[in-house]
Amino acid sequence: MGIKEELKDLRAISKIIDSKERQLSQLKRYYTTVKAFDYSREKISGGKRQDFTDTVNKLVDLENEITKDIDALADKKQEMDKFIKDVLTGNEYVVIQMRYFEDSDWLEIAIKLNYTIDNIYKIHGKALFKLNKVYSKLQ
């Protein structure tokens, strides 16, 4: 795997975490909309009494999974950031940070750095070339 794939992996993991958080939020919303039944009014024979323990456990499991993913992402970002800091400086470093660590799009980066998108592409390409050169020696 090359450096660009490693950097893209950071963005992918972030998107997966975001997706899981949306799922968790949706499940919590479903859980809170479930209404309790008043069993004292009518006798219901047969059937299965509802127990939400399984649902709560599933919510807790998903929360734990998200926490584990966030920890793994933080570790990977820290490791990649150290490598990038050792190789890049100035705008090259900032462009890589914004693109892969903050998940910014090209236009947003160009506006924040007051460059044209073409200049951002050039800075990005130059930064990736430098990173690849060092990264390939490590492999």
- What is the DSSP track for 65-109? HHHHHHHHHHHHHHHHHHHHHHH--HHHHHHHIIIIIS---HHHH
To the nearest whole number, what is the mean pLDDT of the chain? 85
93 against 2, higher pLDDT:
93
**In a domain? residue 37:** no
CATH number at residue 64: 1.20.140
Residue 102 in any domain: the answer is yes
**Measured distance CA(5)–CA(27) in Å, rounded:** 32
Q: Is the residue at 63 inside a domain?
A: yes
Are the C-beta atoms of 67 and 114 separated by less than 8 Å?
no
The answer to whether residue 47 sits within a structural domain is no
2-34 tens-digit pLDDT:
888 889 988 888 889 999 899 888 888 877 766
Domain span at residue 118 reads 3-30+52-138
Q: Is residue 40 part of a domain?
A: no
Region 33-48: what's the mean pLDDT? Answer: 56
Contact 13, 76 (CB under 8 A): yes
Residue 42 has pLDDT above 70, yes or no: no
**Does 19 fall in a domain?**
yes
Please tell me the total count of domains within the chain.
1
**Residue 88 is assigned to a structural domain of this protein:** yes
pLDDT of residue 2: 84
Helix (H, G, I), strand (E, B) or coil at 123: helix
84 C-beta neighbours (distance < 10 Å), count: 21
Q: What angle do CA 98, 13, 112 make, to 5 degrees?
A: 10
Tell me, yes or no, whether 76 lies in a domain.
yes
Look at the pTM and tell me if it is higher than 0.85: no
